[in-house]
Amino acid sequence: MPRRTTEWVRMSLRTPGLFIFGLVMAPCGWILDLTATVAPAWRTVHNIPANPENLVIQQGIFDICRTFTTNSDSVCGQTDTTYFANQIIDIAQGLMVASLVVTLIGLAVAIPGIRCWTDRPNWVVAGLGGILIFLSGVMTIIPIAWYTHIFNSINSTTVSSDVRVGYCIVLGYIGGIFEVLGGFVMFVGICRCCGGANRGEKKVEEVVGAQFRHQKPPTTRHDVPSLNRPRSAASSVPYSTDSMDEDVSFPRAKSPAARSANTSYGGRPYDVDL
């Protein structure tokens, strides 16, 4: 006996909420990751001996800058062979750049799969794009977490006991989490679950049954006898005076006799009447 296949129907032609969430989170995460990659502020070094107190060294994975807290002067392109010789720097450079490229590839794959201009998106292609975006977020979080773990043990020619976390670490964490969430949510649509709720779909028999239950029964027409009476030829009203007299089934009250205008209360005449 052939197995019966279940047919599904989309309840709305709008873009599924899973894709909207993923397409918003992934570009936002990519912008944050790009800022964390190129900005030289993975960590900052303060209170450097034999240097002004307002001097701050900002160390990134591609550049090192000298800034001052009292003004906006900044000098980048500083050399520090000891700092760039650390293993974490090479790994962070490769993974951060790879994360940016993989995010763009994931978006390029997911957008044609979403196909907002068609009735049914390609869930498999969009899900593959979500996997790539998810992996790009993981590639961002790995070097940032590793850098944070060995934060104080990273060697540098600039020696100081006051080493602080730069804003690139925070932006990298947020961007990586955005990409992980966006990619995972887009991947959820690759398989139907929760009765098709994740795709905004329902079974055809359920939709037809619901429409049948909510359908109103047909109205029955009843013939009502006419109450119009034949009109009299001598009158414009639908009944005559004779018919009114015949239809009365109770005695009518007699009208009172007309009183004389010259009589007064109690039957006594006035002097004017004499």
| Domain ranges within the chain, ordered by starting residue | 14-202
Q: List, for residues 245-269, the tens digit of each pLDDT value.
A: 555 555 555 555 555 545 444 555 5
Task: Report the alpha-carbon distance of residue 174 to residue 22 in Å, rounded.
Answer: 15
Q: List, for residues 138-161, the tens digit of each pLDDT value.
A: 999 999 999 999 988 888 888 788
Q: Are 201 and 40 in contact (CB under 8 A)?
A: no
Measure the CA angle with vertex 154, ends 148 and 160; round to 5°: 105
The CATH T-level fold of domain 14-202 is: Butyryl-CoA Dehydrogenase, subunit A; domain 3 (1.20.140)
Query: How many C-beta neighbours within 10 Å does residue 51 have?
Result: 14
Residue 46 neighbours by CB under 8 Å, 6+ apart: 56, 160, 162, 163, 164
- pLDDT-wise least confident of 74-83, 94-103, 167-176, 218-227: 218-227
Task: Report the alpha-carbon distance of residue 262 to residue 255 in Å, rounded.
Answer: 21
Range list of H helices, 81-221:
81-84, 87-114, 123-149, 167-188, 204-213
Estimate the share of the chain in helix, then strand, then coil, as percent rounded to the nearest 5. Answer: 50, 10, 40
pLDDT higher than 70, residue 61: yes
* Over residues 224-238, mean pLDDT: 56
pLDDT computed for residue 252 by the predictor: 57
Per the prediction, the chain carries an average pLDDT of 76
Q: What kind and span of H or E run contains 55?
A: strand 55-59
Measure the CA angle with vertex 107, ends 102 and 108; round to 5°: 95
Residue 171 neighbours by CB under 8 Å, 6+ apart: 32, 33, 35, 36, 39
pLDDT computed for residue 75 by the predictor: 85
pLDDT computed for residue 14 by the predictor: 62
Q: List, for residues 14-57, the tens digit of each pLDDT value.
A: 667 778 888 899 999 999 999 999 999 999 988 888 888 888 99
